[in-house]
Structure 1
Amino acid sequence: MSTPTDDPNRFDGRVALVTGAARGIGATIAATLAARGATVAYADVADTWDTPTPDGPHSRHRVDVRSGRSCVDLVADVLDRHGRLDLLVNNAGVVRRGPAATMSEQDFSTVLDVNLTGTFRVCQAAYPALRATHGSVVNIGSTNGHIAVLDTVGYCVSKAGVLHLTRVLALEWAPDRIRVNAVGPTIVPTDMTADVRGDAGYLADKLATIPLGRMAEPADVANAVAYLLSDAAVMVTGQTLFVDGGVTIH
């Protein structure tokens, strides 16, 4: 069982695993969960990290979500280090841009392998540990998984798959009292979007589609993730929370 707290927004006594935690949204999610009391296992394929080695009981791990063995080994390492796993955030992701008519099969397949199949691999590897603690999962989707966006066919399809994978796992794992939800951000100022944010025309057009008129910050995404993981959302499963300033209400 997950350790109860008086504050449903706290994670004291719980262990969280965050993939793609070396930088950007993942690093912010990990820091947010740690600030709310979780012991966090930071995981990434990167050799260099934008974030310093975390203080306290937290740990760093290397994982390549394209490998099932790597995902299984990651969960085993977390359990060996911390003894349990309560919270899982599947944030690792990549993007390849270009028209569908000319995108290479390799680029298309790579995006699906990391974003969709990688999320599945980590969820599957973590399932026994999450079943033991009645844990909670949040998968990082995107507004691109809900609406069609030009020149990102692999990314759009992969994130649509993540949102439906979330619903299927929520249904299958509800008897184990494992909740599975997703967060779908609009554009966030990270390294992944640096190229398009550098195009003034693209950015103006993008912001025009967001009723609140700004990008989502990493902290906006992290706070939504923390809510869905927390006991404050104990009756929420199979849902996608769009952190998009109203993009998907069009």
Structure 2
Amino acid sequence: MTAAVSGEFAGRVALVTGAARGIGQAVAEHLAERGAVLALADVTPLDAWEHDLGAGGDGHTRHVVDVRSTASCRAAVAEVLERHGRLDHLVNNAGIVRRAPASEMSEEDFTDVLDINLTGTFRMSQAAYPALRETSGTVVNLGSTNGHIAVANSAGYCVSKAGVMHLARVLALEWAADGIRVNAVGPTIVPTAMTDDVRGDADYMQDKLASIPAGRMATADDVAQTIGYLLGGASAMVTGQTIFVDGGVTIH
């Protein structure tokens, strides 16, 4: 990493949801390395996070947010502004998955996934909009290859991620006049806690890896690097797009 890139986000504040572990943690670490001040948000109790970033005197902060609640999203943004005085970047990473055949999936599981993944992304984006307008900020939503191709036993997740990626297009269109860019990333399977169940299934993984031309899973850092690009100045003319971090899955 060059010195110029390492300091690219100096003086800027990035709010990352779902930041207690997994992809959110990797994004936070990547942006911190590039000079950003992090406002890390998660529904996980603060003493149960899987890393120490934001827990000490490093200038980063931790915030409790439940993206199922408009009031919680607005309160988190208000807290970020109180602590840091500005907001430049938003990464909508909070999400869950529930797996079952569509004929057997409960309505609660289906709607819970939509409420957190899709409506939660909308709530957080809407709450952050006034602050992002002040800084001509950038937003990245966490989509998935599952939002582009049909995947069995994941109806709620697939639909939610398709919505998240299309929401990026709509917000990019509406907010361009405010100087706000909105994009999405669409990873293939990433080795995080969310995929522990399927990664323990040898037959599933054989089929999954066979569908990835690059022959491997995406890493959390692969995703974080792409998000860093979309948040930064190198992508100044990129908005309303989804970049698939998928080793070629979606070229079939």
Find the counterpart in structure 2 of residue 120 from structure 1. Answer: 122
Give a deviation string over 1:94-122, Cα, whole Å, max 9, x none. Answer: 00000000100000000000000000000
Find the counterpart in structure 2 of residue 24 from structure 1. Answer: 22
Which of 19, 32, 44 pairs up with 2:42? Answer: 44
Name the SS for the 2:63 alignment partner. Answer: strand
Task: Provide the TM-score with structure 1 as the length reference.
Answer: 0.97
Which consecutive aligned stretches of 4+ in structure 1 deviate over 4 angstroms post-superposition?
5-9
Query: Contact between 2:186 and 2:244, CA under 8 Å: does it hold in 1?
Result: yes
Q: CA deviation at 1:214?
A: 0.1
Query: Contact between 1:9 and 1:231, CA under 8 Å: does it hold in 2?
Result: no
Query: Contact between 1:15 and 1:84, CA under 8 Å: does it hold in 2?
Result: yes
Q: CA deviation at 1:70?
A: 0.1
RMSD (Å), alpha carbons = 1.3
Tell me which amino acid in the other structure corresponds to 2:44: A
Q: CA deviation at 1:9?
A: 7.4
Which residues of structure 1 form unaligned runs of 5+? none
Q: CA deviation at 1:52?
A: 1.2
Tell me which amino acid in the other structure corresponds to 1:152: S
Tell me which amino acid in the other structure corresponds to 2:177: P
Q: CA deviation at 1:80?
A: 0.2
Q: CA deviation at 1:10?
A: 1.2
Q: Following the alignment from structure 2 to structure 1, what is the Cα–Cα distance between the partners of residues 26 and 6?
A: 20
Which of 183, 186, 189 pairs up with 1:184? Answer: 186
Q: How many residues align?
A: 246
Tell me which amino acid in the other structure corresponds to 1:77: E
Name the SS for the 2:186 alignment partner. Answer: strand
2:100 equivalent to 1:109: no
Give a deviation string over 1:192-218, Cα, whole Å, max 9, x none. Answer: 000000000000100000000000000
What percentage of aligned pairs have identical amino acids?
68
Task: Provide the TM-score with structure 2 as the length reference.
Answer: 0.96
Query: Contact between 1:8 and 1:231, CA under 8 Å: does it hold in 2?
Result: no
Which residues of structure 2 form unaligned runs of 5+? none
Query: Contact between 1:79 and 1:85, CA under 8 Å: does it hold in 2?
Result: yes
Given the superposition, is the C-alpha separation of residues 31 and 7 from structure 1 closer, same or farther in structure 2, using an over 3 Å criterion? closer
